[in-house]
Chains A and B, each alone.
Chain A
Amino acid sequence: MSTATVEPASLRLVYFAWVRERVGLTEETVTPPAGTATIADLVRWLKTRGEGYELAFENEAVVRAAIDQTHAKPAAAITGAREIAFFPPMTGG
């Protein structure tokens, strides 16, 4: 057994409302760098990917996240996640 290196997992990202508009995509599949352990880590990496991402996440405290369709805090671990969503505070009802 010589599986010392774990293949970075690919992740589906989905965006809604003004986060979607700023990023310029409704969804994408990404492979975050090794060491991306939490939502906050993922956001930090996404912000390096271009102006749209930087604008979408300029106020990180405002943007909400969900892991596999359940609300998640910035410190939440993304290990094993299949789908991560980013969106503004909700205004339904």
Chain B
Amino acid sequence: MTPLVRIQREDFDIGAEIAALTRGNANIGAVVSFAGLCRDESGRLAALELEHYPGMAEAEIGRVAAEAAGRWPLSGLLAIHRFGLIRPSEQIVLVIAASSHRREAFEAADFLMDYLKTRAPFWKREHLADGTLGGWVEAKADDDDAAQRWEQIS
């Protein structure tokens, strides 16, 4: 099973991606999907601008996905990350994991998201509701902790 990784400006259709990932494999019993959306932070933001490192973004998410595929018996694994200007309620990121049983799919999707947040070279910048340019979003220690917890589970 080779994980699929796409870095794109365009939006994605979760239903279509699930259908494509599971098509032709009747041994899949579980599909877990996670979508990350742009928040408006209670009306404060007009948009988020996502900058990325082309080439490394694909490579790094690919490395994390390959790690997940080595760790859990999966039938399919997909990660899509968007870049460019993304408005509130729009989708930013998608992870889909498919497996025979639910546990593997849940854990692989969770693992992939945790590491994607701390390792994938993307940076968010705020565009404020009053039309001005805001600052760069700061990395959260919580995200490092979330990734760290996978080191303790073997």
Interface residues of A (CB under 8 A from B): 14, 16-18, 66, 69-71, 85, 87-93
Contacts and interface: CB of A to CB of B under 8 A. Distances in A.
A17 B125 contact: yes
A90 B72 CA distance: 26
Nearest to B63: A70
B119 interface: yes
Q: Pick the most buried of A16, A66, A87, A90: most chain B CB atoms within 10 A of its CB.
A: A90
Interface in B111-149: 113, 116-125, 136-139, 143
Given A90-B118, A91-B136, A92-B93, A71 B123 contact: no
Interface in B12-31: none
A91 B56 contact: no
Contact of A66 (B56, B125, B138): B56
Contacts of B123: 16-17, 87-88, 90-92
Contacts, number: 73
Given A90-B121, A92-B50, A92-B121, A17 B56 contact: no
A17 B117 contact: no
Interface of B: 36, 50-53, 55-56, 59-60, 81, 92-93, 113, 116-125, 136-139, 143
A14 B121 CA distance: 13
Contacts of B113: 93
Contacts of B93: 92-93
A69 B55 contact: yes
A92 B53 contact: no
B59 to A, nearest CB: 5
B137 A16 contact: no
Given A17-B123, A88-B123, A88-B136, A93 B117 contact: yes
A92 B81 contact: yes
Contacts of A91: 117, 122-124, 136-139
